[in-house]
Amino acid sequence: MRPQLMLSFYIFLTALFAALLAVPALRRWALGTGSLDLPDEERKVHSQATPRLGGVAIFLAFLFAMLMFKEFNLQVRALMAGGLIIFVTGLADDLVGLSPGRKFAGQILACLVTMTVGDLYLSNLGDLFGFGEIVLPLWLAIPFTVFAVVGMINAVNLIDGLDGLAGGVTVIALATFFVLDLHAGSGECMILCAALLGGVLGFLKYNVYPARIFMGDVGSLLVGFLLGFLAIQLTQNPGQSISPMVPVLVLGVPIIDTVWVMTQRMLCGGSPFVADRTHLHHKFLDLGVQHRFTVLIIYGLSLFGAVCALQLHEQPEYLLLAGYLAVSGLFYLALRFVLRHRDRFPLLQRDSQAGLKQTAAYRRMQDLADLAVNGLKALVGLLLLLAVLAGGRASTQEAIFALAVVGSGAVLVWLTRDPGNHFFHGFLYLAGLVLIVLLEQAGGHRIVGELDVARAGLILYGLMAPLVVVKIIFKRPQEIYLSTPFDFLILAMSLSLVIVSPEVTLAYNLPWIVGKAVLLFLALKIVAISARSYANQVCGAMLAALVIVVVRGLG
């Protein structure tokens, strides 16, 4: 399973960075062409026109990652073929608009293509009622599979009503499917989950409240389609031991919301497909709960279902079904009671639309966190002094590499003094990594008494870590530490170094070295970004320290 886990990791990173790069480009294109989702007071909660083509980035990232690393078997080809049909259907709806009948026709066609090519059917329903397993014949499994997947597609589409809501629920579901397949499956579903998870997370960065882009129908239809067939693949493939009820628990929130809303619409004599404000998130908004907290509540409900699925996946299907229906029924009865007697729950009315960062307490913490910059300057200075005084002996190859880093750093100082420059950040990371490697070689060198270089460095890193964490949490709006694709690329490269080979990892203690390099990089970046003069000081100090350490090491 380790090769599959490694492959999943690289596929996830590829999809993540592809989405992080694609979403801003699609957003600019949508703003330029007017492909926007306009506000609608009757059923939509956003107040300004917003691009809605984020789903295109999800699909492209998912497809690119799979094409880069995975040879497609028949089932994956079937999913790709059906996904392409869904993608075209959703894109046409977002750009020109489609009638409900045409959208359903596209969804059904995609399901039939995937089922026919990949031989993916929902036929074994498990022991739902305690009288033995229910196994559907092929003539019944085909329409039932279409019904289930089309239902899942529209469940995700209908819950996509608040910023970050559908994306977050999808992330929870995909992560749960990944863990289930990791422990009980063949690994095929794992890889697909990793690719889609990377694409959705990359999109979600730009979709959290206040959203800069929506996934649109192209995203919600595609995600629902893939979730539906991933659930089938997870439970129906030969050798799988996952109960068919487990994905229902994982996706319980969008499923029960869709069933509840459509049932109410039909009981009231209306069409089940006419949009309104009767969804779960609308009920929380009607209670006075604001946008952010409503999304967090539904995340919590989805996470509760995912945890139950992971803990109870070996229980009989009839117990899982009974528990799911009982808990869902009690929850909706309680919610209905609160809606009718909202005056008895004044606490719900106190939720504010203002974000946490606008509170006085948060601003006070920002002022205190600014003091961490001075602390980090002192700790970084002590670490550089420690490296200069006790740098280890460098080999010829290490010296050449260190001098190359020094040379590139000198060029950067001459070319740019912008603390936000990505190449400058790359220099800080490389210089810190080289310095740490050279310092590791002098770990046993005594400084004072029993205090050696390794122990002194550990103390400095231990003091540095909480200051870095506090400053990142309570950063100011203009301060960007872990927000650009380049930052995530550095973290991904660091993780790749750690897991590249068990032998290399053990021989060089890579997790420890890379962890300290990332911590030092963040500390240097925090100091450098705080002021342009600090950026020059940091760069100059790193260059001087490297030169001295290399010269002393070669001596």
Binding annotation for Mg(2+): 157, 217
CA distances in angstroms from 288 to 254, 285, 298, 338, listed in the order given: 22, 5, 15, 11
Question: CA–CA separation, 123 vs 125, rounded Å?
Answer: 6
Picking from 514, 401, 391, 397, the residue whose alpha carbon sits closest to that of residue 443 is 391
265 phi, psi to nearest 5 deg = -60, -40
Question: CA–CA separation, 460 vs 436, rounded Å?
Answer: 13
Q: Any bridge partners for residue 452, and if so which?
A: 446
Annotated binding site: 157, 217
Amino acid found at 4 = Q
The residue written with tokens 């085909």 in the block is 142
If phi > 0 it is left, if psi is from -120 to 50 it is alpha, else beta; for residue 164 that is left
Question: CA–CA separation, 237 vs 74, rounded Å?
Answer: 13
All residues at 6 or more sequence positions from 540 whose CB lies less than 8 Å from its CB, including other chains? 413
Q: How many other CB atoms are there within 10 angstroms of residue 156's CB atom?
A: 28
Q: How many other CB atoms are there within 10 angstroms of residue 22's CB atom?
A: 22
Answer yes or no: are the C-beta atoms of 166 and 211 closer than 8 Å.
no
Q: Any bridge partners for residue 134, and if so which?
A: 126
Question: CA–CA separation, 58 vs 553, rounded Å?
Answer: 49
Amino acid found at 401 = F
Question: CA–CA separation, 131 vs 235, rounded Å?
Answer: 20
Answer yes or no: are the C-beta atoms of 191 and 64 closer than 8 Å.
no
**Chain mean position to CA 387:** 37
Answer yes or no: are the C-beta atoms of 488 and 16 closer than 8 Å.
yes
